[in-house]
Amino acid sequence: MAKQVGRLKQYLTLLCLAFLLSPGALASDANDAKDGGENRPMKVIMPLWGPSIQADGTGMFVDLFRFVLKGYEHRYEIEYVSYDKALRLLLYSDVDCAYPVSKPTILVSMKHVDATQLIQSQSVLVSKTYVFSRPGEPVFSTMEALKGKLLIQIRGENYNHNFTTARARFWNVDSEPEKVRVLLGGRGDAMLGSMPDILITFAEMGVEIPPYDPDFSVLDYDNAMTCRNSAEAAALVDLFNRRIRETVEDGSLRAHAVDNGVPELVVDAFLPTLSR
What are 85-98's pLDDT values in tens digits? 887 888 888 899 99
CATH topology of domain 40-123+224-262: D-Maltodextrin-Binding Protein; domain 2 (3.40.190)
User: Using one digit for the tens of pLDDT, what is the confidence trace for 30-72?
Assistant: 433 333 345 789 999 999 988 899 999 999 999 999 999 999 9
Which residues are within 8 A (CB) of 14 and not within 5 positions of it... i.e. 6 or more apart?
none
What angle do helix axes 231-249 and 60-68 make, rounded to 10 degrees? 100
Q: In this predicted structure, what is the pLDDT of residue 107? A: 78
- Edge-to-edge strands of the sheet including 76-81? 76-81, 42-47, 97-98, 226-228, 118-120
**The one-letter amino acid at 55:** A
| Alpha carbons 190 and 184: distance in angstroms, whole number | 10
CATH topology of domain 127-221: D-Maltodextrin-Binding Protein; domain 2 (3.40.190)
| Alpha carbons 276 and 68: distance in angstroms, whole number | 17
Contact 83, 55 (CB under 8 A): no
What stretches of the chain adopt beta strand conformation (E)?
42-47, 76-81, 97-98, 118-120, 125-133, 150-154, 169-173, 190-195, 217-223, 226-228
What angle do helix axes 252-259 and 231-249 make, rounded to 10 degrees? 90
Average pLDDT in the 259-274 region? Answer: 90
